[in-house]
Amino acid sequence: MTTDTQTRAFQQGKRRAEELRTQIAYHEHRYFVLDAPEISDAEFDALMQELRAIEAAHPELITPDSPTQRVSGAPVETFGIIEHRVPLLSLANGFNADDLRAWHKRTAGLLEHDQFTMICEPKIDGLAVALVYERGQLTTAATRGDGTRGENITQNVRTIRSIPHRLKNAPERFEVRGEIYMTKSGFEKLNFERGEAGLPLFASPRNSAAGSVRQLDPKVTASRPLDAFLYQLGWIEGGEQPATHWEVLDWLKSLGFRVNHEIRRCDDVDQVIDFCAGWVERRESLDYEIDGIVIKVDSLNYQRRLGAVGREPRWAIAYKFPPTQATTKLLRIEVNVGRTGSLNPFAVLEPVKIAGATVQLATLHNEDDIRRKDIRAGDTVIVQRAGDVIPQVVGPVVSKRTGREKVFKMPKTCPACHTPVVRPEGEAMYYCPNRQCPAQRFRLLEHFVGRGAMDIDGIGESLAYQLMQAGLVQDGADLYRLHERRDDLLKMERLGPKSVDNVLRSIEDSKKRPLAQVIFALGIRHVGGEVAAILANHYGSMDALMNASPEDIDEIPGIGTTIADSVSEFLSLEDNRNVIEKLRAAGVNLREESGGAREGPLSGLTFVITGHLEAFSRDAGERLIKRNGGGVGSSVTKKTTYLVVGAEPGSKLAKAQQLGTEVLDEQQFLALLHARGITPD
């Protein structure tokens, strides 16, 4: 391969990796934070697999904010945040017997023998939860969140009857982990009652469970048919930890926790494969949704030896069931306009029931995807659903074509404002370039008020549309003047005095949102919640971000050229700067109150820590660096200033040596801190 060809391949890989990270971050936010996924599990897994392949081929492209390097799903601040003492990791996925055999072989190689037992557990499709008990009493309950910080849902979890409030003969303090879910029968009954009452129906048991434990009123949670299985010990104080995971499960049962009775212990990988295959057919016999089987190494000592790589433990894998599919007629292909101007084709289907939900719409992603799959209006199509709000069209059943099917063509003008559309070079999506497009402005307003953005309760899709139609708002910043239009609000459908007061109060409360949420709420293309947090933490204020050049932004670990150019272009436009100035005038927070871009003795330096340190934990070391103005990365790149090496450093040391990054052992690191006047806690 010539040098020019290698360079082109590298640049293509870099661009694709940036696109994948942006897409994955968006879909992770939809799934973990909004409880409203837009693509199937299988399609999300494909995005992750493609990104892993690119990063494996080009390790220098790995960034600290890559979804392959950390647990996904930023917590929502509404309920308060709980720091997880031990991170809640995600699991690597396997999709067939070969994947399970490959995992077993890798594990055996690391342990240097293949004689180890494994525990197989049904993978409950619900919401992960971590429960802390002190002196036998439930003290806190938290969601997974981003793996290190989760939402405090203690009061709502207390309403779930299968989760005990008090335990007898319990250790001094410990954490147990499990899954909150809604039964299928309970979900059907709940939806029937909502339909009778004229309320919108819920999409799936998983989303219903996640939404139920995030209710502001615990009484609402208590009214929902929620249950929980507990399956793991997080940590323990004042008690002896069992030697195996199987013993942990027995111990949890003895304390009074609900443990799934379908769990099995297997002596070899063939037994594991048989167990998984059996549940592919039997899954529908359960009164709760499962989307796979989790396989864990039984010995806790082996688990500690195996450790984790990136966001995943080496000692466990999730076997994912084949996605549920059905065939139906694709009636027509329509296009809507997103908040960034993207034209998004979707399929309108003859209603079909898949995995317990009636499906009428399905995503088609983009024109290239439609052409690649040769999907036509009028086709009989295979539709795939794996707990998704919007399923996907897998492809057509060509044998059932009649000749009357119509090939799809992307419209040449925006369906909302009729502006000629454009397709940027190297991108799959078409865009409406008219920033005054009513569809864009509406979707941007809907995004602005949503969870993870300004989180304004009471303004959903319907009210946002009414506010724009009435001319009361043109953008998110106009919301902060609605207190002057209270009489106009009272004239709106379904808005009484109390509702108006609640909306205005929520708007006022949103002024205090962290800078990261404000940046995310602006709707900058390619900027999801994670990227917004990186920008807020680096710059510390909106003014500093607005004054940054694209080259400056590109230098930030975790921010690529595509994102840097998008941010810079967005903030250079007068309309967008006017929105920011209106937010400033309204008193919206435009500074990072904690952990922002601090000046300090380590400013301008980026550290990566690997291995085990003696003086303090890795987390404590990273907090110390950030507190003194330094940056912290999770992988070694050309932007890394120092790699700090403790015992058993792993592959990061080899990467640093390859790139010529300066390496410090623990004593040299402490000496550097001392020389700059920094004293570790």
Report, as residue numbers or ranges, the catalytic residues.
123
> Which whole-number Å values give the CA distances from 14 to 11, 51, 400, 442, 560, in the listed order?
5, 10, 41, 33, 9
Cα-Cα-Cα-Cα dihedral of 168, 171, 177, 182, to 10°? 10
CA distance 430 to 407: 18
Say what angle helices 574-586 and 561-572 make with each other, to 10 degrees: 70
3-state secondary structure 560-601: CHHHHHHHHHHHHCHHHHHHHHHHHHHCCCCECCCCCCCCCC
Residues ≥6 apart with Cβ < 8 Å to 107: 116, 297, 306, 314, 315
Pair 417, 434: CB distance under 8 Å: yes
DSSP state letter for 172: S
Pair 72, 90: CB distance under 8 Å: yes
> Which ranges of 420-549 would DSSP assign to H, the alpha helix?
438-448, 461-469, 486-490, 497-509, 515-521, 529-539, 542-546
End-to-end Cα separation, the chain, in angstroms: 52
* Exposed/middle/buried for residue 42 (C-beta within 10 Å: 0-12, 13-18, 19+): buried
| Sign of the torsion angle spanned by Cα atoms 248, 254, 260, 266 | positive
Cα-Cα-Cα-Cα dihedral of 70, 76, 81, 82, to 10°? -50
CA distance 117 to 100: 14
CA distance 53 to 542: 36
